Structures are given as C-alpha cells and as structure tokens.
Amino acid sequence: MSASRSVLLIIGGGIAAYKVLELIRRLKDHGIASRCILTKAGEEFVTPLAVSSLAGERCFTDLFSLTDEADIGHIALSRSTDLVVVAPATADLIAKMATGLANDLASTALLATDKRILIAPAMNPRMWEHPATRRNMAQLETDGVLVVGPNSGAMAERGENGPGRMAEPHELLAAIEQALAGETRLSPVGAIGFLGRNPGGPSGAPKLLAGKRVLITSGPTHEPIDPVRYIANRSSGKQGHAIAAAAAAAGASVILVSGPVAIADPEGVTTIHVESARDMLAAVEGALPADIAIFAAAVADWRVAEEAPGKLKKRAGAGAPALALVENPDILATISAREIDRPALVVGFAAETDHVIDHARAKLAKKGCDLIVANDVGGTGVMGGDANTVHLVTSDNVETWPTLPKGEVASRLIAHLAAMPQASETER
C-alpha cells in the first residue's frame, strides 16, 4: 500500500455494507489506504469487485485461498495495517469476536491481529438489545475494542425504529482518524461508541471524570398526533447540552441522547438524535452501560393513544377531535430500577412551577434516582433562557445555587457529581 496510513477493513453481512463503499472513498481522500476482507455474508450485500475497485487492490474473501496465503498469509494480513476496522459489525461478527471464534478469514484475522480494533455495530434494535449482544459488547469493552455508533433511528425493516443504525461514513472516518492518531485517552468503550474527539476538553478543565462513561439526555420530545402535528414542550436543550459539553471537558466519554433542538451538537460528544419518548428510552437503553446517567431532557409525560395515519381534517359541524392520551415510558424510573447495567449514579431533572423542593423530594423517592436537580420554570424564562436557578436534592440534603448561566450550572454540576461517592463506582 502506498499511503502512509492503512486500515484493514472487515466488511460483515449487513445492509449497511453499502456505506462502507463510501467510507473507502473518503479514507482514500484522507490518505488512508484500505485493504479489505469481505465475509461470505458480506458478499450478499456488496461485491468484491466494487470493494476492490474502490480500494485499488484485491479484496480478500477466503481463508483457504492458496493465492491469498502465497501473497500475504492471514496472519500477515491482520498485522500489516495500522488499525483493524469492522463495518458493519454484525451481531454474528461481534459474537465471534467476543468468544474468540476463528472459522473464516475475517474472524481469524481478528483473532490474529496485534493491532487495535474499531467496530461499527449495525443491526436490528432487538438484536442490539438482546442480552447476548449486550454480554458480547461488554466482553469487547473489557478486551479494549473501540466502538463507534450505532446511531438510533429508522431501520431498513419497515416500522422498526431504535438503536442499531451503523455510524455514517463521516462519523466512521472521524473515529478512524482518532484511533490512528493513537490518542492515549481513547478508552475502551461499551455499547455505544465513544471516541474522545475532545479528549483533553477545550478549556483545560480538570479531568474529574477521566475514564468515566456518562450518558445524558437533553431537549424536549415530540409526540406525534398525526403526520404533521405533535405534542411538545418549550425545552431548548441548552442545559442538557451544556452538561454534555462540561462532562466531555472533564475527560468523560459522553453519549448525548437529544430530542429535537435548534442548537448544535456539542463538540467531543457522541450525539444520538431522537424524536419521541419511546425513541429516547430505546436510545438510552442501547447506550448502556454507563457510569453516570443524567436525565436532563423534558420528556413528554403523555402521547396520543393512537397516532392518526393521515392528517386530521377539520370537518364542518364535527367539532374538534378528542385526543385520548396515554402515559409515556418513564425513562428516569426505568433506568433507576434496572437490576443489570444500572449506572452507579443516576441524576434526574425536575422542572416545577410550584413547591419545587417538595416535588423534587417526592420525585427522588418515587423514581429511585440518586439526585434530583430541581428548577423553578414558572414564568422565569428558564425554558429556552440562558440562566438557571437550581436546587440539588438528595435523600438527606438540599443545596440551592444562585442563578447562574447554564454553562456555569453545567460545570458546577459536573464537579459536584464527580465528588459524589457513586462517581467512584462503576455501573452496577
């Protein structure tokens, strides 16, 4: 390979394999050569010819090909590279990696390599959330495998939504660049990938959360009524996004699950975009395990019982439609009650308009979280505004802070959480 940097790209048998063709092109533009292995199942989705044409060299497919062994044996293939990238990393490939199976060229190369491995999982949300995949991902985390994605959203399968979409080519490229740069702070990661795009933090802030994985929700949720209307709230996402940025600046690997907001994704944070409360819960569950979870999103309590398939029409004399509401899942309570993978420190937010502290205390007890950040949103412009007045409520204490810019609330909160005993534990 003539480029000074190279990756061994293992392409698994998933629908997202087509995105890898674009990745190969982008890698080349960045002076990174790709040598490719296509699995048998991968060949069902992209052809060796397409892969080799883009990569500019033959695509390897067969462990027992004498020519392959004569040219470059599978051991050398796995080592004559700077980084091994698996994309799409199917449930099957992940399981093989976790158990050390080596029954084809891809899995043998993965076992034989002495280089770092970065995987881009891609699968149906149920496969991703299956306990077997969770176990396998936890094992890969222990083994120091780097992970990018998956993102959350609509699947190729009709009507399926949730975590499992492979990271986009530009996200993969960014992850590969960082892995190749050999950032020492690139920590082994779990279910949803962290690559420390901003490992030192922008501000030189103390690295109070170095090595910690922090999951944060932010923004409102949108609950569809029909294809054009939805129930929403005034949350801007400013506070949750500021907390994500502050956690990244404190050295944590941060996953931000954001509802629809008009502000930019924070730097150095893996952001997953969702719409509804149900999407948000699926993305949060898919992002576990985490050491600390901060639920700052203003999740809609209710959604309409039945989303209309077509736009609801005004009909003369028929009056307004009656919208029956049902309760949305309670993300804070659900995660706080988890027996497996409960983050060691779970923080909820309570936006109240009256009896702020009493309601926060009640919420703390009801939800089973460790801390509630309560704020008074009654007519103060907090929702959407740039300042916040918060009370930190635990089972035995209430701490009230002065009105501060949301960025300042965020950095103080991160320092406060880092000092809590739970922050020194890992997830239960």
Q: For residues 93 and 344, which CB has a smaller minimum distance to ligand FMN in the complex?
A: 93
User: Least separation, in Å, of the C-beta of 166 and ligand FMN?
Assistant: 8
Task: Compute the distance between CA of residue 165 and CA of residue 112 in angstroms, rounded to an integer.
Answer: 28
- Number of residues that this document lists for the chain: 428
User: Least separation, in Å, of the C-beta of 138 and ligand FMN?
Assistant: 17
Quick check: 217 and 174 in contact, CB under 8 A? no
CA 75 to chain centre: 33
Quick check: 104 and 40 in contact, CB under 8 A? yes
User: Least separation, in Å, of the C-beta of 110 and ligand FMN?
Assistant: 11
The residues that touch ligand FMN, with contacts defined as CB under 6 A, are 12-16, 39-42, 88, 90-93, 122-123, 127
Q: For residues 78 and 90, which CB has a smaller minimum distance to ligand FMN in the complex?
A: 90
Give the CA angle between residues 92, 98, 103 to the nearest 5°. 60
Q: For residues 104 and 376, which CB has a smaller minimum distance to ligand FMN in the complex?
A: 104
Q: For residues 88 and 268, which CB has a smaller minimum distance to ligand FMN in the complex?
A: 88
User: Least separation, in Å, of the C-beta of 231 and ligand FMN?
Assistant: 32
H helices of 156-202, in order, are 169-181
Task: Compute the distance between CA of residue 137 and CA of residue 133 in angstroms, rounded to an integer.
Answer: 6
Task: Compute the distance between CA of residue 189 and CA of residue 195 in angstroms, rounded to an integer.
Answer: 8
DSSP letter for 424, please. G
User: Least separation, in Å, of the C-beta of 412 and ligand FMN?
Assistant: 42
List, by residue number, the catalytic residues: 233
Quick check: 224 and 392 in contact, CB under 8 A? no
Q: For residues 36 and 91, which CB has a smaller minimum distance to ligand FMN in the complex?
A: 91
Task: Compute the distance between CA of residue 406 and CA of residue 403 in angstroms, rounded to an integer.
Answer: 9
